[in-house]
Structure 1
Amino acid sequence: MNMKEAVTSVYSKYATFSGRSRRSEFWWFVLFYLIVSAILQIIDRAVFGTATGPVGGPPQQVSIFAAIFSLVSLLPNLAVGARRLHDIGKSGWWLLLGLIPIIGTIILIVWFAKDSDAETNAYGPPPGA
Protein backbone atom coordinates (compact mmCIF):
# COMPACT_ATOMS: atom_id res chain seq x y z
CA MET A 1 0.00 0.00 0.00
CA ASN A 2 1.33 3.43 -0.89
CA MET A 3 0.53 6.83 0.60
CA LYS A 4 -2.14 7.72 -1.94
CA GLU A 5 -4.02 4.45 -1.39
CA ALA A 6 -3.76 4.79 2.38
CA VAL A 7 -4.99 8.39 2.49
CA THR A 8 -7.81 7.62 0.05
CA SER A 9 -8.81 4.60 2.13
CA VAL A 10 -8.79 6.51 5.42
CA TYR A 11 -10.80 9.46 4.10
CA SER A 12 -13.26 7.16 2.31
CA LYS A 13 -13.89 5.45 5.66
CA TYR A 14 -14.21 8.91 7.26
CA ALA A 15 -16.04 7.83 10.41
CA THR A 16 -15.91 4.04 10.17
CA PHE A 17 -14.75 2.72 13.52
CA SER A 18 -15.47 -0.94 12.74
CA GLY A 19 -13.17 -3.32 10.95
CA ARG A 20 -9.39 -3.45 10.79
CA SER A 21 -6.60 -1.37 9.25
CA ARG A 22 -3.16 -2.52 8.21
CA ARG A 23 -0.04 -1.11 9.74
CA SER A 24 0.97 0.44 6.41
CA GLU A 25 -2.39 2.21 6.02
CA PHE A 26 -2.11 3.71 9.49
CA TRP A 27 1.51 4.86 9.22
CA TRP A 28 1.15 6.24 5.67
CA PHE A 29 -1.80 8.29 6.89
CA VAL A 30 0.18 9.53 9.91
CA LEU A 31 3.05 10.58 7.60
CA PHE A 32 0.62 12.35 5.24
CA TYR A 33 -1.03 14.13 8.18
CA LEU A 34 2.30 15.33 9.61
CA ILE A 35 3.60 16.54 6.24
CA VAL A 36 0.39 18.43 5.39
CA SER A 37 0.23 19.93 8.89
CA ALA A 38 3.83 21.15 8.64
CA ILE A 39 3.24 22.67 5.19
CA LEU A 40 0.06 24.39 6.39
CA GLN A 41 1.92 25.77 9.43
CA ILE A 42 4.52 27.28 7.09
CA ILE A 43 1.79 28.76 4.87
CA ASP A 44 -0.02 30.15 7.92
CA ARG A 45 3.18 31.78 9.12
CA ALA A 46 3.88 33.26 5.68
CA VAL A 47 0.34 34.57 5.21
CA PHE A 48 -0.61 35.64 8.72
CA GLY A 49 2.76 36.09 10.44
CA THR A 50 2.57 36.22 14.20
CA ALA A 51 -0.02 37.92 16.33
CA THR A 52 0.96 40.05 19.25
CA GLY A 53 0.50 38.28 22.53
CA PRO A 54 -0.47 39.76 25.85
CA VAL A 55 1.51 42.77 27.00
CA GLY A 56 5.01 41.60 27.81
CA GLY A 57 4.26 38.09 26.50
CA PRO A 58 5.76 36.34 23.51
CA PRO A 59 4.17 36.68 20.06
CA GLN A 60 1.72 33.92 19.18
CA GLN A 61 1.51 32.10 15.88
CA VAL A 62 -1.78 32.21 13.99
CA SER A 63 -2.56 28.80 12.41
CA ILE A 64 -5.91 29.05 10.65
CA PHE A 65 -5.28 26.64 7.75
CA ALA A 66 -3.58 24.05 9.96
CA ALA A 67 -6.42 24.27 12.50
CA ILE A 68 -9.06 23.71 9.81
CA PHE A 69 -7.12 20.72 8.45
CA SER A 70 -6.83 19.28 11.96
CA LEU A 71 -10.57 19.61 12.53
CA VAL A 72 -11.39 18.02 9.17
CA SER A 73 -8.99 15.16 9.91
CA LEU A 74 -10.03 14.55 13.54
CA LEU A 75 -12.61 11.83 12.86
CA PRO A 76 -10.50 10.00 10.26
CA ASN A 77 -7.56 10.05 12.69
CA LEU A 78 -9.63 8.55 15.47
CA ALA A 79 -11.26 6.01 13.14
CA VAL A 80 -8.00 4.73 11.62
CA GLY A 81 -6.49 4.55 15.12
CA ALA A 82 -9.41 2.48 16.37
CA ARG A 83 -9.27 0.20 13.31
CA ARG A 84 -5.51 -0.21 13.81
CA LEU A 85 -6.09 -1.28 17.42
CA HIS A 86 -8.78 -3.69 16.20
CA ASP A 87 -6.16 -5.19 13.88
CA ILE A 88 -4.11 -6.28 16.90
CA GLY A 89 -7.17 -7.47 18.82
CA LYS A 90 -7.70 -4.45 21.08
CA SER A 91 -10.75 -2.24 21.53
CA GLY A 92 -10.72 1.23 19.98
CA TRP A 93 -11.42 2.63 23.44
CA TRP A 94 -7.73 2.07 24.18
CA LEU A 95 -7.12 5.28 22.22
CA LEU A 96 -8.02 7.05 25.44
CA LEU A 97 -4.58 6.01 26.71
CA GLY A 98 -3.30 8.93 24.66
CA LEU A 99 -4.77 11.21 27.32
CA ILE A 100 -2.14 9.98 29.77
CA PRO A 101 0.97 12.10 29.18
CA ILE A 102 4.05 10.32 27.82
CA ILE A 103 3.30 6.76 29.07
CA GLY A 104 -0.04 6.46 27.25
CA THR A 105 1.47 7.81 24.04
CA ILE A 106 4.41 5.39 24.22
CA ILE A 107 2.07 2.42 24.77
CA LEU A 108 -0.09 3.45 21.80
CA ILE A 109 2.95 3.87 19.52
CA VAL A 110 4.16 0.38 20.46
CA TRP A 111 0.71 -1.07 19.76
CA PHE A 112 0.39 0.81 16.46
CA ALA A 113 3.77 -0.60 15.38
CA LYS A 114 2.82 -4.16 16.37
CA ASP A 115 2.27 -6.71 13.60
CA SER A 116 -1.32 -7.56 12.64
CA ASP A 117 -3.16 -10.63 13.89
CA ALA A 118 -2.90 -13.13 11.04
CA GLU A 119 -6.23 -14.78 11.81
CA THR A 120 -9.76 -13.45 12.05
CA ASN A 121 -10.34 -11.83 15.43
CA ALA A 122 -13.38 -10.31 17.15
CA TYR A 123 -13.19 -7.30 14.82
CA GLY A 124 -13.23 -9.18 11.53
CA PRO A 125 -10.94 -10.89 9.04
CA PRO A 126 -7.45 -9.54 8.34
CA PRO A 127 -7.43 -6.56 5.96
CA GLY A 128 -6.95 -7.64 2.36
CA ALA A 129 -8.17 -11.18 3.04
Structure 2
Amino acid sequence: MNYYLDVIKRYADFAGRARRQEYWMFVLWNIPIVIVLTVIDFVLGSYPVITWIYTLAVFLPSLGVSVRRLHDTGKSGWWYLVSLIPFVGWIWMLILMATEGHPGANEYGTNPKELRA
Protein backbone atom coordinates (compact mmCIF):
# COMPACT_ATOMS: atom_id res chain seq x y z
CA MET A 1 0.00 0.00 0.00
CA ASN A 2 2.98 2.32 0.56
CA TYR A 3 3.79 2.32 -3.16
CA TYR A 4 0.23 3.38 -3.96
CA LEU A 5 0.30 6.19 -1.40
CA ASP A 6 3.76 7.33 -2.53
CA VAL A 7 2.47 7.71 -6.10
CA ILE A 8 -0.57 9.65 -4.84
CA LYS A 9 1.69 11.95 -2.79
CA ARG A 10 3.82 12.68 -5.86
CA TYR A 11 0.67 13.27 -7.93
CA ALA A 12 2.07 15.85 -10.34
CA ASP A 13 5.74 14.89 -10.26
CA PHE A 14 6.94 14.04 -13.75
CA ALA A 15 10.66 14.33 -12.98
CA GLY A 16 12.92 11.49 -11.96
CA ARG A 17 12.57 7.76 -12.38
CA ALA A 18 10.20 5.09 -11.09
CA ARG A 19 11.08 1.43 -10.62
CA ARG A 20 8.98 -1.33 -12.15
CA GLN A 21 7.89 -2.30 -8.66
CA GLU A 22 6.57 1.20 -7.92
CA TYR A 23 4.59 1.29 -11.16
CA TRP A 24 3.15 -2.22 -10.97
CA MET A 25 2.27 -1.98 -7.26
CA PHE A 26 0.31 1.19 -8.07
CA VAL A 27 -1.49 -0.66 -10.86
CA LEU A 28 -2.05 -3.67 -8.59
CA TRP A 29 -3.81 -1.50 -6.00
CA ASN A 30 -5.63 0.65 -8.54
CA ILE A 31 -7.46 -2.21 -10.30
CA PRO A 32 -9.24 -3.63 -7.20
CA ILE A 33 -10.18 -0.11 -6.09
CA VAL A 34 -11.84 0.53 -9.45
CA ILE A 35 -13.64 -2.83 -9.28
CA VAL A 36 -14.97 -2.14 -5.76
CA LEU A 37 -16.07 1.37 -6.73
CA THR A 38 -17.82 0.01 -9.82
CA VAL A 39 -19.72 -2.50 -7.67
CA ILE A 40 -20.67 0.26 -5.24
CA ASP A 41 -21.82 2.38 -8.18
CA PHE A 42 -24.08 -0.43 -9.43
CA VAL A 43 -25.49 -1.08 -5.95
CA LEU A 44 -26.28 2.59 -5.45
CA GLY A 45 -27.59 2.93 -9.01
CA SER A 46 -25.18 5.76 -9.70
CA TYR A 47 -22.95 4.02 -12.26
CA PRO A 48 -20.50 5.47 -13.45
CA VAL A 49 -20.40 8.56 -11.20
CA ILE A 50 -18.20 7.34 -8.31
CA THR A 51 -15.92 5.37 -10.62
CA TRP A 52 -15.39 8.37 -12.90
CA ILE A 53 -14.66 10.67 -9.95
CA TYR A 54 -11.99 8.26 -8.73
CA THR A 55 -10.59 7.82 -12.24
CA LEU A 56 -10.28 11.58 -12.66
CA ALA A 57 -8.70 11.89 -9.21
CA VAL A 58 -5.93 9.38 -10.01
CA PHE A 59 -5.38 10.49 -13.61
CA LEU A 60 -2.45 12.81 -12.84
CA PRO A 61 -0.77 10.41 -10.38
CA SER A 62 -1.01 7.54 -12.87
CA LEU A 63 0.31 9.73 -15.67
CA GLY A 64 3.14 10.90 -13.42
CA VAL A 65 4.23 7.40 -12.42
CA SER A 66 3.98 6.27 -16.06
CA VAL A 67 6.22 9.12 -17.22
CA ARG A 68 8.72 8.39 -14.44
CA ARG A 69 8.63 4.70 -15.42
CA LEU A 70 9.43 5.67 -19.02
CA HIS A 71 12.28 7.82 -17.73
CA ASP A 72 13.68 4.77 -15.95
CA THR A 73 13.89 2.96 -19.29
CA GLY A 74 15.66 5.95 -20.87
CA LYS A 75 12.63 7.18 -22.82
CA SER A 76 11.03 10.60 -22.80
CA GLY A 77 7.62 11.00 -21.19
CA TRP A 78 6.25 11.82 -24.61
CA TRP A 79 6.51 8.10 -25.40
CA TYR A 80 3.31 7.75 -23.35
CA LEU A 81 1.47 8.98 -26.45
CA VAL A 82 2.34 5.65 -28.09
CA SER A 83 -0.52 4.19 -26.04
CA LEU A 84 -2.97 6.19 -28.17
CA ILE A 85 -2.10 4.21 -31.31
CA PRO A 86 -5.06 1.92 -32.03
CA PHE A 87 -4.61 -1.84 -31.50
CA VAL A 88 -0.85 -1.92 -30.91
CA GLY A 89 -0.27 1.12 -28.69
CA TRP A 90 -1.31 -0.50 -25.43
CA ILE A 91 0.79 -3.59 -26.22
CA TRP A 92 3.90 -1.49 -26.85
CA MET A 93 3.22 0.51 -23.67
CA LEU A 94 2.89 -2.73 -21.69
CA ILE A 95 6.27 -3.85 -23.03
CA LEU A 96 7.86 -0.50 -22.13
CA MET A 97 6.44 -0.60 -18.60
CA ALA A 98 7.70 -4.16 -18.07
CA THR A 99 11.19 -3.44 -19.40
CA GLU A 100 13.95 -3.23 -16.81
CA GLY A 101 15.32 0.25 -16.22
CA HIS A 102 18.76 1.36 -17.27
CA PRO A 103 21.45 0.61 -14.69
CA GLY A 104 23.19 3.62 -13.23
CA ALA A 105 22.24 7.23 -13.77
CA ASN A 106 20.71 8.51 -16.98
CA GLU A 107 19.57 11.96 -18.12
CA TYR A 108 16.47 11.69 -15.88
CA GLY A 109 18.29 10.97 -12.63
CA THR A 110 19.93 8.25 -10.62
CA ASN A 111 18.74 4.67 -10.66
CA PRO A 112 16.02 4.31 -7.99
CA LYS A 113 16.97 0.66 -7.55
CA GLU A 114 20.43 1.72 -6.40
CA LEU A 115 18.98 4.28 -3.98
CA ARG A 116 16.94 1.63 -2.12
CA ALA A 117 19.81 -0.85 -1.90
TM-score scaled by structure 2? Answer: 0.93
The counterpart of 1:120, out of the listed 101, 105, 108, is 105
1:1-129 mapped onto 2 (5 Å cutoff): 4-48=1-45, 62-128=47-113, 129=115
TM-score scaled by structure 1? Answer: 0.85
d(CA) in 2 for partners of 1:23 and 1:82?
A: 12
Q: Report how many residues are paired.
A: 114
Deviations 1:53-102 (A, max 9, x none): xxxxxxxxx21111000000000010000000000000011101111122
The gaps in structure 2 that reach 5 residues or longer are: none
Percentage of pairs with the same residue: 39
d(CA) in 2 for partners of 1:81 and 1:101?
A: 19
CA RMSD of aligned residues (A): 1.0
d(CA) in 2 for partners of 1:71 and 1:99?
A: 18
By percentage of residues, which structure has more helix?
2
- Which structure: larger Rg? 1
Deviations 1:1-49 (A, max 9, x none): xxx1211110111100000001011001011111100110000001116
